[in-house]
Amino acid sequence: MAKMADTKSLDPDTESAARDFLARLPPDLRLEYAILYGSRARGEGRPDSDADLALIIAEGAVDWQLVGSLAELAYDVFLDGGILIQPVP
């Protein structure tokens, strides 16, 4: 699983949702690292804010099927924890 850097400014729900999403990624995904950005990363998120997560994936490893799979994983995390992850490969 990808490591998360400093999480001091994150609320516990956002951190939990991001960790949950990363843990659900397929083991063969060539993820180099992930960057949480946007209002939730800055500690300024509202209850209805999404959590923007940039996924840095090895060159040539991204296709439309992967994008669809990531959206499905994000929706599953939303159903489980109430925070929508917006993955951007």
pTM: 0.85
Q: b vs e for 5-39, b when ≥16 Cβ sit within 10 Å of the residue's Cβ?
A: eeeeebeeebbebbebbbebbeeebebeebebeee
In a domain, 2, yes or no: no
CA distance 45 to 39: 5
In a domain, 5, yes or no: no
Q: How confident is the model at residue 10 (pLDDT cuts 50, 70, 90)?
A: confident
CA distance 3 to 71: 21
Higher confidence at residue 77 or residue 43? 77
Q: Identify the pLDDT of residue 1.
A: 46
In a domain, 43, yes or no: yes
In a domain, 21, yes or no: yes
In a domain, 82, yes or no: yes
In a domain, 40, yes or no: yes
Number of domains in the chain: 1
> What domain range is 25 assigned to?
12-88
Q: What is the DSSP letter of 63?
A: -
In a domain, 53, yes or no: yes
In a domain, 70, yes or no: yes
- Whether 3 shows a pLDDT value over 70: the answer reads no
Q: What is the pLDDT of residues 51-73, one digit of tens each?
A: 999 999 888 777 888 889 999 99
